[in-house]
């Protein structure tokens, strides 16, 4: 039987390459969940994802209505859901003023965390019905979530604080989860801490009762992706060179996509609650290992509190 995986944000970068790696096996049908359908179709064709091995369905993670509609549209296909990959993200390091989602939340946290949080909660029901022996839910993390690691030391550091901004309802004038001043780079890093906390809380709440494997990964520094498109042009030019020749952290989009595909499909990754990494300094044939997450991302009380507040913000509670 062919399995079905939903991957968010497959119009470029890591998600596109993960879609390709899974579709190519012939064992997976990939549902590409994207906000720009024609861009995604062109991208799928340009990297040679076999026709018939994928379906594109509209999803704008910034909009909670769109997330709900996506789930309805997916269910209407009649497919069973065997894996879900939360991959899409935005990073807007240069903006001075916050941008807002249709629901009135700061855009990067709304897209990267709240949209995925609602999607995971709704699609948990679909994953529970999967007849696959190892249904999985994978959320992309990043080294910058962790100030204990070299790649995470550069300020501003992520810090959800005591979740004041979320507690206050996270609408203007609140722009940051900790309730402090708007800082777009920190907003991205905070959202990635939320991604790891969400994965761990999903594991704590649902792994035993459902058998679903929940995991996260740092795919390596994929310095060429469109994630950096809103950065200075000079940064976009120098960052891949710096990562290739100085830090040794550089990973191609194709390699990163394969890593995601492994975490989705390879029996070796069937351990729930784990955060996988291939390290910062990439070695040829380097092996993956379970990486310790940051102090904040391993705080179980915070994970629970974040869950409760996020559920309120997306209308689940």
Active site residue 269: no
Looking at 21, 64, 83, 89, which residue binds ligand NDP (CB under 6 A)? 89
Using the minimum distance from each CB to ligand NDP, give the nearer residue, 112 or 130. Answer: 112
Least distance from ligand NDP to the Cβ atom of residue 271, Å = 20
Nearest one of 288, 257, 276, 315 to 5, comparing CA atoms: 257
* Cβ count near 38 (within 10 Å): 10
Mark the segment that binds ligand NDP (CB under 6 A) among 2-10, 49-57, 72-80, 290-298. 2-10
Least distance from ligand NDP to the Cβ atom of residue 1, Å = 28
Q: Is the dihedral of CA 148, 151, 156, 160 positive or negative?
A: negative
Looking at 26, 27, 39, 289, which residue binds ligand NDP (CB under 6 A)? 39
Q: 196 with 118: CB under 8 angstroms?
A: no
Instruction: State yes or no: residue 222 binds ligand NDP (CB under 6 A).
Output: yes
Query: Is residue 54 classed as helix, strand or coil in its secondary structure?
Result: strand
Q: Could you give the CA distance from residue 303 to residue 307 in angstroms, rounded to a whole number?
A: 6
Instruction: State yes or no: residue 87 binds ligand NDP (CB under 6 A).
Output: yes
Query: Is residue 22 classed as helix, strand or coil in its secondary structure?
Result: helix
Q: Could you give the CA distance from residue 218 to residue 114 in angstroms, rounded to a whole number?
A: 20
Least distance from ligand NDP to the Cβ atom of residue 157, Å = 16
Query: Is residue 127 classed as helix, strand or coil in its secondary structure?
Result: helix
| Phi (first) and psi of residue 81, to 5 degrees | -105, 125
Q: What stretch of H or E contains 301?
A: helix 300-313
Using the minimum distance from each CB to ligand NDP, give the nearer residue, 37 or 268. Answer: 37
Binding to ligand NDP by CB under 6 A, coded x per residue (else -) over 115-144, reads: -------------------------x-x--
Instruction: State yes or no: residue 7 binds ligand NDP (CB under 6 A).
Output: no
Q: What stretch of H or E contains 72?
A: helix 64-76
Where in the chain does DSSP place strands (E)? 3-8, 28-34, 54-58, 83-86, 136-140, 213-218, 274-277, 289-290
Q: Could you give the CA distance from residue 13 to residue 252 in angstroms, rounded to a whole number?
A: 9
Looking at 22, 31, 34, 177, which residue binds ligand NDP (CB under 6 A)? 34
Least distance from ligand NDP to the Cβ atom of residue 222, Å = 4
Number of H helices, E strands in the chain: 10, 8
Instruction: State yes or no: residue 291 binds ligand NDP (CB under 6 A).
Output: no
Looking at 49, 61, 109, 124, which residue binds ligand NDP (CB under 6 A)? 61
Using the minimum distance from each CB to ligand NDP, give the nearer residue, 88 or 179. Answer: 88
Edge to edge, the sheet with strand 213-218 lists 54-58, 28-34, 3-8, 83-86, 136-140, 213-218, 274-277, 289-290
Using the minimum distance from each CB to ligand NDP, give the nearer residue, 66 or 210. Answer: 66
Mark the segment that binds ligand NDP (CB under 6 A) among 35-43, 123-131, 163-171, 174-182. 35-43
Instruction: State yes or no: residue 14 binds ligand NDP (CB under 6 A).
Output: yes
Instruction: State yes or no: residue 263 binds ligand NDP (CB under 6 A).
Output: no
The residue whose Cβ lies closest to ligand NDP is: 13
Using the minimum distance from each CB to ligand NDP, give the nearer residue, 145 or 302. Answer: 145
Positions in the binding site for ligand NDP (CB under 6 A) = 8-15, 34-36, 39, 59-62, 87-90, 111, 140, 142, 192, 218-219, 221-223, 225-227
Q: Which residues are catalytic?
A: 188
């Amino acid at each position: 039987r062919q399995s079905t995986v939903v991957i968010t944000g497959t119009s470029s970068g890591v998600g596109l390459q993960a879609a390709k790696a899974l579709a190519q096996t012939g064992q997976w049908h990939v549902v590409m969940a994207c906000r720009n359908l024609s861009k995604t179709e062109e991208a799928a064709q340009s990297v040679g994802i076999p026709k018939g091995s994928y379906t594109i369905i509209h999803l704008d993670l910034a909009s909670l209505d769109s997330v709900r509609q996506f789930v309805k549209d997916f269910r209407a296909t009649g497919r069973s859901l065997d894996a879900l990959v939360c991959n899409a993200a935005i990073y807007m390091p240069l903006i001075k003023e916050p941008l807002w989602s249709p629901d009135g939340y700061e855009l990067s946290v709304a897209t990267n965390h709240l949209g995925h949080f609602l999607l995971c909660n709704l699609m948990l029901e679909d994953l529970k019905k999967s007849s696959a022996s190892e249904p999985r839910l994978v959320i992309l993390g990043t080294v910058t979530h962790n100030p204990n690691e070299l790649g995470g030391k550069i300020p501003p550091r992520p810090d959800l604080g005591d979740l004041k901004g979320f507690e206050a309802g996270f609408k203007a004038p609140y722009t940051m989860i900790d309730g402090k001043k708007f800082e777009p780079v920190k907003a991205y890093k905070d959202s990635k801490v939320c991604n790891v906390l969400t994965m761990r809380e999903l594991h704590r709440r649902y792994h035993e009762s459902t058998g679903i494997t929940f995991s996260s990964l740092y795919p390596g520094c994929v310095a060429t992706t469109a994630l950096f498109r809103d950065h200075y042009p000079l940064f976009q030019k120098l960052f891949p060179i710096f990562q290739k020749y100085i830090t040794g952290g550089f990973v191609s989009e194709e390699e990163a996509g394969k890593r995601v595909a492994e975490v989705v499909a390879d029996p070796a990754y069937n351990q729930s609650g784990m955060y996988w990494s291939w390290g910062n300094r990439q070695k040829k044939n380097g092996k993956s290992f379970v990486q310790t997450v940051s102090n904040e991302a391993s705080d179980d009380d915070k994970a629970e509190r974040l869950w409760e507040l996020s559920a309120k913000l997306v209308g689940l509670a």
